[in-house]
Copies of this chain bind each other. A is one copy, B any other.
């Protein structure tokens, strides 16, 4: 810990937000690396290659409509909207960081999905006969999922890091994600359709531990910018609503064909509906005069979708989904009211978007709900074949029973937390080094992050238009005079 502390002081030199060389270099070099790796490793799978016709006949598939594309493409597009519009606009609530919120979200998602296709491909889709990764629509969905973990982490450090740091954060995040996912889903054989553990718990704690590493004691110097204006809150609602509406697609995108996708969508739909009501209730109850707080409406209403992620494909039952949503709305909103200030004051974790309340805590709840629901499964509820299909009790796991599956689910949750908080819990091994390493690297002044009094400001990395000054909101008759004024004032400003 001491070495980290002294390292910190070493890094607190003069900040310079110029990324003119570092950002283009990172983008060009990494994109070139992607092209080379894709050239070596990535090919179409049998459902997206022109040999599909032959494959179809060989497998006796009666129609093109049974191509996996038609099962998953609508869900994929919904997930895609969540990643780019949902996460992007959810973070536009800051008054002067909307460009950064949407733009950097766009950048790191576009990079992350390529790296995720490779990392996840090596673990899950490698064809050992020719050493190639064979991709189809399911890989694209999984890549988007993987990116979601990093975007969650971005939420914790929003406004405080440079785009170059974000690229590094994403590179490490995706790598950790793929390893963690492989351990949880393949080795431990936990099920996690909507990624409560794999995506949200991991992403949440990963972001929080990065934020802890990058603690800025004088961040209040930027406090004038760390809030919203009226229209930025409306923009953020675009993000909230697209996340909320498409969450059923998120949780059902990679579940089993047929009843699996159907049930996951229903459960998520219900959990989210319940969350809205309890969020509104708690937000009003704990506020002076009972006024609602936009921060809660924008974020906590989504907690139910996170928490139902793991159990969405199980027989959680409609009322079970409502109960999960009910609790999460309360927990998440209380988190915003009490926990976020507490964590900033006493734990040195500055969590800009409150991802602990929206992702980390509900993710843990989701993992627990998943473990309980799995342990309670029985043939009388699922049917014999249904039980096998739902939990994949096949191959080397054909002797698995629900109670043991519940244990495996719990183990998966622990792995997700460990990977996320790696740096904090000092758990030994490569993941600690990874998170610590990435945390340390991100403090180096070469990365172009902003000074404490310059955070949450698009001016640092974007050409920002001059607002209002040349706005034509004047009666017609003095237009010319006004333009002269503007020209003069522009001149004056340039003189300074």
Contact = CB atoms under 8 A, between A and B. Distances in A.
B258 A38 contact: no
Interface stretch (A15-23, A149-157, A178-186, A417-425): A15-23
B84 A241 contact: yes
A31 B291 contact: no
A39 B64 CA distance: 35
Interface stretch (A101-109, A352-360, A433-441): A101-109
A4 interface: no
Interface residues of A, number: 154
Interface stretch (A68-76, A368-376, A396-404, A405-413): A68-76
A106 B261 contact: no
A463 B293 contact: yes
Identical chains in the assembly: 3
25 contacts: A18-B289, A31-B278, A35-B322, A39-B319, A42-B318, A42-B319, A44-B263, A44-B266, A48-B266, A53-B383, A62-B63, A63-B66, A64-B71, A67-B259, A77-B245, A84-B241, A85-B238, A85-B245, A95-B471, A140-B266, A140-B269, A163-B280, A228-B465, A229-B471, A294-B465
Given A69-B262, A77-B78, A280-B163, A51 B386 contact: yes
Q: From DSSP, what is the main secondary structure of chain A's interface residues?
A: helix
Given A21-B290, A285-B24, A464-B230, A280 B85 contact: no
A117 to B, nearest CB: 8
B24 A114 contact: no
Given A136-B262, A262-B67, A292 B463 contact: yes
Contacts of A89: 238
B80 A245 contact: yes
Contact of A69 (B68, B114, B265): B265
A53 B386 contact: yes
Contacts of A71: 64-65, 70
A461 B284 CA distance: 9
A385 interface: yes
A319 to B, nearest CB: 4
A248 to B, nearest CB: 8
A272 B110 contact: yes
Interface in A428-484: 457, 459, 461-473, 475, 477, 483
A170 to B, nearest CB: 11
A99 interface: yes
Nearest to A464: B230
A19 B272 contact: no
Contacts of A289: 18, 20
Contacts of A135: 266, 318
A88 interface: yes
Contacts of A43: 317-318
A27 B78 contact: no
A73 to B, nearest CB: 6
Given A67-B258, A84-B244, A140-B269, 19 more contacts: A30-B277, A31-B274, A44-B266, A48-B266, A50-B385, A52-B259, A74-B74, A77-B78, A77-B249, A89-B238, A99-B292, A107-B277, A111-B276, A113-B269, A113-B273, A114-B273, A224-B472, A294-B465, A477-B496
Given A102-B234, A277-B30, A318-B38, A20 B284 contact: yes
A490 to B, nearest CB: 10
Contacts of A291: 461-463
Nearest to A167: B277
Contacts of A235: 231, 234
Interface in A277-305: 277-278, 280-282, 284-285, 287, 289-294, 297, 301
Contacts of A471: 95-96, 229, 467
A231 B465 CA distance: 10
A493 B475 contact: yes
B163 A225 contact: no
B51 A287 contact: no
Nearest to A25: B281
Contacts of A198: none
Contacts of A483: 224
B382 A462 contact: no
A39 B270 CA distance: 13
Residue of A459, A465, A471 with most chain B CB atoms under a 10 A cut-off: A465
Residue of A32, A225, A257, A280 with most chain B CB atoms under a 10 A cut-off: A280
A278 B386 CA distance: 48
A410 to B, nearest CB: 22
B54 A290 contact: no
